[in-house]
Amino acid sequence: MQIVVTSLSFGQSPGDIIITEIMQNPNAVTDANGEYFEVYNTTAGTIDMNGWVIKDDGANTHTINNGGPLNITSGAYLVFGKNSTSAENGGITLDYASTSISLTNADDEIILETGGGVEIDRVNYDGGPNFPDPTGASMELSTMAYTSSANNNGANWAEATSAYGAGDLGTPGAVNDNSAALGIANNKIEKFSIFPNPSNTGSINITTATNNPKNIKVYDMLGKKVIDQKIDTKLNISSLRSGIYVIKVTENNFSATKRLVVK
């Protein structure tokens, strides 16, 4: 089954909201009660999801009617599922529930799209071998891969490890367990540090054990490279708007990534 989310307004851009967690096969409760998916607001503003449409490629369609705004603030999560009763859904607190939301256990797609046909985000999970295929655990996007391009790469997803409610594993509505590096090996630079982080000063310091010259690449949440330069320790980020970024640092042929929050 394919899920498409369509906005009735045209103010959003690709990557403004991304899919960060998918529970397609709960074990503590039935699929009909415990399935959910989670989205995250990558922008610096608040987005109202009330009036958006959730549908699949078949006859299933549902227009969100929250009786008022369904706001997702900057850097926050919303959780969509089938059953809003926590005692029945495995212990999840849903932000919105509809029996129309259904996730196939094997290969499936979740697509977020505006009413004007602009694709906001997409995850095509395959039930293995590229994506995880857990039972009783959600698939979680790495916190180092919060972009609309990186989250369609199965290598950036892993099984959740934190238990919630009735005993299934996941972090619905909270920061994911998975913190694997974005598309590269895990951090190998000794004493790699970024400060201040979060930052509102227009610059940050990037230090390591050796403090040799470093190649710095900064990516926004769409995966677009916004800074590419060589530094010793101080990086000018005054050109960056408020939001979340991924910094890739290369020093002495070793690479590492960290998340940067600009306020």
Same domain, 216 and 114: no
Structurally, how many domains does the chain consist of? 2
Report the residue count for the chain: 263
Instruction: Give me the domain span that covers residue 239.
Output: 193-262
- For residue 101, what is the DSSP state? -
Regarding whether 234 and 108 lie in a shared domain, the answer is: no
Mean of all residue pLDDT scores within the chain: 86
Same domain membership, residue 116 and residue 246 = no
pLDDT in tens, 24-67: 999 999 999 999 999 999 888 898 888 787 766 666 677 778 99
> Is 175 part of any domain?
no
Whether pLDDT at 186 is above 60: no
C-alpha closest to that of 3 among 124, 90, 97: 124
Q: Which of 172, 147, 109, 141 is nearest to 245 (CA)?
A: 147
Q: Which residue has the tokens 């199965």?
A: 154
Residue pair 34/102 in contact by the 8 Å Cβ criterion: no
3-state SS string for 185-223: CCCCCCCCEEECCCECCCEEEEECCCCCCEEEEEECCCC
148 and 220 both lie in a single domain: no
Is 188 contained in some domain? no
Segment 65-85 shows an average pLDDT of 92
Q: Is 253 exposed, middle or buried (0-12, 13-18, 19+ CB in 10 A)?
A: exposed
pLDDT bin (cut points 50, 70, 90) of residue 7 is very low
Residue 9 has pLDDT above 70, yes or no: no
Beta strand pairing status for 77-81 and 108-114? unpaired
